[in-house]
Amino acid sequence: MIKPHGADQLNPRFVYDTEQHHALIREGEELPSLLLNSAAAANAVMLGAGYFTPLDGYMNLADALSVAEKLHTVDGLFWPVPIVNLTDEAGIEPGSRIALRDPNVEGNPVLAIMDVEAVESVSEEQVDFMAEKVFRTLDPEHPGVATFKGLGRTLLSGPIQVLNFSYFQSDFPDTFRTAVEIRNEIAERGWDKVVAFQTRNPMHRAHEELCRMAMDDLGTDGILIHMLLGKLKPGDIPAEVRDASIRKMVEVYFPKNTVMITGYGFDMLYAGPREAVLHAVFRQNCGCSHLIVGRDHAGVGDYYGGFDAQTIFDEEVPEGALELEIYRADHTAYSKKLDRVVMMRDAPDHAKEDFVLLSGTKVREMLGNGIAPPPEFSRPEVAKILMDYYQSL
């Protein structure tokens, strides 16, 4: 199986030893505590789950700036996005040990214990510099920019020990999986080549066929459908609805034992190309050999070109930085001429009217009115789940 990124084995920061775990829980109740923001909490979950191997914890300012500018830490580790704990909380001292409390769970339980190595002030200019590099814009309407710029101006860095996986394990017990668990399941299934499909949306017919195309073209043993379970922008479909619709699609339309349906505990960044590279890093840590990168992967609005998330792998990812390879996908749609889903680049003789194309707005309008999109666009079983959701709003 493919090696983890930057290490021979995964580095999950979750404390698995039962005795040590209980001792840390007791200690956490006595330590000074910091209520995290959701972004820092999501970073802790990803560190705990091994997705951010080989990192031990939150980056310091020098590493965060270096990653934003050059896609590597000061020591040269390839990494595409700063993994930080930014706060406005005062009074935390370098060298202290603190309990990190979860903002997303009632009662704010201790999520992790942190050894604070450095406490650094971040200037407005440095925040803007990082945001501009990562998101390619400073537009406050960009949801990722708005979140990042609102996190705080004090950066705490240092290793963490993670004690739970926030709400993800309890709310999505059948879907949330750590990188450790995914690796283990891939090994148990005897899979060697595995392609990952990233999603924050329900999967329509085109997504379903794209997964099949990737599996066939690459000759993989299976596919990991890996859905984001964390915070999204307003208007995005909730994770539990998306989960149900994806499970129904796989149950009815995929051969048994070819698909793993899993999810990960992270908030969407909407960082386009940089987030695509981050997706590649942590899918390598899951044990996947390939990642499907499609049109406007991890994008939002019109901030990124349609294929910027693919070209970044050619222009900014150094050769050998990742063992995982990407599968480059074009926009996929149902061809009326050929009576099947195709990549649009593979049908140069088609005009726009030869495809079944529906805007997201139109699809939401149809579902809200109890009208199923055409079966060439959405499987009827999936459409039923989505119609029930939209009509309940």
Q: Which residues participate in catalysis according to the annotation?
A: 200-201
* Buried b or exposed e, range 357-369, using 16+ CB within 10 angstroms: ebeeeebbebbee
What are the φ and ψ backbone dihedral angles of 156, each rounded to 5 degrees?
-105, 130
Q: What is the CA radius of gyration of the chain?
A: 21
Cα–Cα distance measured from residue 2 to residue 9, given in angstroms and rounded to the nearest whole number: 10
Report the alpha-carbon distance of residue 328 to residue 214 in Å, rounded. 9
Beta bridge partners of 112: 100, 162
* 261's tokens: 């349906």
**Cα gap 300→314, rounded to integer Å:** 22
Residue (of 38, 146, 55, 50) closest to 100 by Cα position: 38
- What does the CA dihedral 70, 75, 79, 83 come to, rounded to 10 degrees? -100
Nearest alpha-carbon partner for 287 in 177, 187, 169, 175: 187
Strands 290-293, 194-199: pairing kind: parallel
Task: Give the chain's length.
Answer: 393
Which burial class, exposed, middle or buried, applies to 145 when counting CB atoms under 10 A from its CB (0-12, 13-18, 19+)?
A: buried
